[in-house]
């Protein structure tokens, strides 16, 4: 696609930023070509550096559930900015936000705000290890929980049980205390608990996986995690950084009716600003400093601008919003299925609420091994076809697309038409 201005900016960026970006997936390496530099965004539309408009299905990788530049959120941030940008002292807004999160997520009795999802998961694990006095962390292949050392095992590749680091710079010794198992595999988890249960501090899971494409939990999977943790005295952590406030107001735990011990939040709860949180059972959260011995701190934690955006966003998450997202999601899902059939392409569409993935392989995709079998080259061609037709889809087969409430039915229909066209010509 020709977007000379973005291409030019990306070349300049590559000289001064690794890959020309501040977060790797933005570089479009999985699909090739240059990323679109964004000039502005409003509602469901992004405007690229050359002035072209795109229908957005990335939503800043999750936060933008209301659409971009939602007027009341923007006004709240502007208001807050006039009162000062950061104090490093407590504010009323933080209390309101904590109370709101506890209202939305009944499993959360106490909560701590941080500035990114990575910090939330890293800190939740430290709290779990501190509370149990045990070393081992269990995650699932293809599950991404941020970039902290002990979670960079099988965060989107391979399928071994024993931890090998997914990144250079992560010492073997650190991932030796991590285990990674296939998603949706309760017997594998039972096995692991039978062998090492006395040493397991926590099991962390994306309750609907979104970082290997959208992969829903099978009946009994989430329940099995909580049951096994309960029995062994380990901590069940739902990483709802992506799913929290997206799949329901109270996240996947509300949607599936399963109660974890700790929850990690981010993305939507920050309303587009750098804010995330972890919280849960009081006896565990009381281990966190200054109440307890588990140290965790942040200069900009609970930043007043971020808190203002968070409160203004959470305020607008009414049940009708989720009904609307469900309707729009179902329309897109059906349209994409039809487009696949029409183009005679082997693929499947997986969706939970407003998270959706078209995998270029026959379904169902139950875990990372399945997802990894997708035809990524075909995905890359389809992605380029969508971009040419004004649809901004996540630039990787392994990232879920997100719908926002700012989308209209005509946007969905235009997207389906573009998707069908791109399938036929790629």
Ligand X SMILES: *Cc1c(COP(=O)(O)O)cnc(C)c1O
Q: Residue with the closest Cβ to ligand X?
A: 117
Q: Rounded to whole angstroms, how far apart are CA atoms 236 and 285?
A: 14
Task: Map 342-406 to HEC letters.
Answer: HHCCCCEEEEECCEEEEECCCCCCCCHHHHHCCCHHHHHHHHHHHHHCCEECCCCCCCCEECCCC
First-to-last CA distance in the chain?
A: 14
Query: 279 or 335, CB closer to ligand X?
Result: 279
Rounded to a whole number of angstroms, the minimum distance from the CB of residue 231 to ligand X is 25
From residue 251, alpha-carbon distances to 2, 9, 100, 225, 323 in Å are 39, 38, 14, 17, 14
Rounded to a whole number of angstroms, the minimum distance from the CB of residue 116 to ligand X is 4
Give the list of residues 6+ apart from residue 133 with CB closer than 8 angstroms, or none: none
Q: What is the DSSP string of 302-340?
A: T-HHHHHHHHHHHTT--HHHHHHHHHHHHHHHHHHHHHH
Helix (H) or strand (E) holding 279: strand 276-280
Rounded to a whole number of angstroms, the minimum distance from the CB of residue 239 to ligand X is 5
Q: Is 100 a catalytic residue?
A: no
Rounded to a whole number of angstroms, the minimum distance from the CB of residue 267 to ligand X is 6
Rounded to a whole number of angstroms, the minimum distance from the CB of residue 334 to ligand X is 26
Are 237 and 202 spatial neighbours (Cβ–Cβ below 8 Å)? Answer: yes
Rounded to a whole number of angstroms, the minimum distance from the CB of residue 276 to ligand X is 6
Are 392 and 402 spatial neighbours (Cβ–Cβ below 8 Å)? Answer: no
Query: 269 or 380, CB closer to ligand X?
Result: 269
Query: 31 or 152, CB closer to ligand X?
Result: 152
The active-site residue out of 144, 183, 322, 392 is 144
Residues that bind ligand X (CB under 6 A): 116-118, 121, 144-146, 206, 210-211, 239, 241-242, 266, 276
Helix (H, G, I), strand (E, B) or coil at 170: coil
Rounded to a whole number of angstroms, the minimum distance from the CB of residue 15 to ligand X is 25
Q: What is the DSSP string of 12-64?
A: HHHHHSGGGSSSGGGG-TTT-SPPPPEEEEEBTEEEETTS-EEEESSGGGTT-
Residue 421's CB is within 10 A of a number of other CB atoms, namely: 16
Query: 63 or 130, CB closer to ligand X?
Result: 63
Across-strand partners of 53?
Answer: 47
Q: Is 267 a catalytic residue?
A: yes
The active-site residue out of 141, 183, 256, 267 is 267
Task: Map 56-91 to HEC letters.
Answer: ECCHHHCCCCCCECCHHHHHHHHHHHHCCCCCCCCC
The active-site residue out of 239, 322, 370, 392 is 239
Query: 58 or 420, CB closer to ligand X?
Result: 58
Helix (H) or strand (E) holding 273: none
Rounded to a whole number of angstroms, the minimum distance from the CB of residue 142 to ligand X is 11
Query: 144 or 360, CB closer to ligand X?
Result: 144
Query: 236 or 416, CB closer to ligand X?
Result: 236
Q: Which of 247, 179, 191 is nearest to 217 (CA)?
A: 247
Q: Is 144 a catalytic residue?
A: yes
Give the list of residues 6+ apart from residue 426 with CB closer than 8 angstroms, or none: 378, 381, 382, 384, 385
Query: 20 or 266, CB closer to ligand X?
Result: 266
Active site residue ranges: 144, 239, 267
């Amino acid at each position: 696609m020709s977007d000379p201005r973005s291409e030019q900016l990306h070349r300049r960026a590559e000289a001064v930023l690794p890959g020309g970006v501040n977060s790797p997936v933005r570089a479009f390496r999985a699909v090739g070509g240059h990323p679109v530099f964004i000039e502005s965004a409003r509602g469901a539309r992004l405007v690229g550096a050359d002035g072209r408009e795109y229908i957005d299905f990335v939503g800043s990788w999750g936060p933008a559930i209301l659409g971009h530049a939602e007027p009341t959120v923007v006004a709240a941030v502007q208001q807050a900015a006039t009162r000062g940008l950061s104090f490093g002292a407590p504010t009323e807004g933080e209390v309101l936000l904590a109370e709101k999160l506890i209202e939305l997520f009944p499993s959360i009795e106490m909560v701590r705000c941080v500035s990114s999802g990575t910090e939330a998961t890293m800190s939740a694990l430290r709290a779990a290890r501190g509370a149990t006095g045990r070393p081992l962390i269990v995650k699932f292949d293809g599950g991404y929980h941020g970039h902290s050392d002990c979670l960079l095992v099988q965060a989107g590749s391979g399928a071994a049980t024993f931890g090998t680091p997914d990144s250079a710079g992560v010492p073997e010794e650190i991932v030796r205390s991590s285990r990674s198992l296939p998603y949706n595999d309760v017997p594998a988890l039972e096995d692991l608990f039978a062998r090492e249960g006395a040493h397991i501090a926590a099991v962390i899971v994306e309750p609907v996986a979104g970082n290997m494409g959208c992969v829903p939990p099978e009946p009994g999977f989430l329940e099995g995690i909580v049951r096994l943790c309960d029995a062994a005295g380990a901590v069940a952590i739902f990483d709802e950084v992506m799913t929290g406030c997206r799949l329901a107001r109270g996240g996947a735990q509300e949607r599936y009716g399963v109660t974890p011990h700790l929850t990690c939040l981010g993305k939507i709860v920050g309303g587009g600003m750098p804010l995330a949180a972890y919280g849960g059972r009081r006896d565990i959260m009381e281990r966190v400093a200054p109440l307890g011995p588990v140290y965790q701190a942040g200069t900009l934690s609970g930043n007043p601008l971020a808190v203002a955006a968070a409160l203004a966003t959470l305020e607008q998450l009414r049940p009708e919003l989720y009904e609307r997202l469900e309707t729009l999601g179902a329309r897109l899902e059906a349209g994409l299925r039809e487009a696949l059939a029409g183009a005679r392409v082997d693929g499947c569409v997986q969706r939970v609420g407003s998270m959706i993935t078209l995998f270029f392989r026959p379904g169902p995709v139950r875990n990372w091994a399945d997802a990894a079998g997708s035809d990524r080259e075909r995905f890359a061609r389809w992605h380029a076809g969508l971009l040419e037709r004004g649809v901004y889809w996540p630039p990787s087969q392994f990232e879920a697309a997100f719908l926002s409430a700012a989308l209209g039915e005509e946007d969905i229909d235009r997207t389906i038409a573009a998707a069908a066209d791109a399938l036929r010509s790629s």
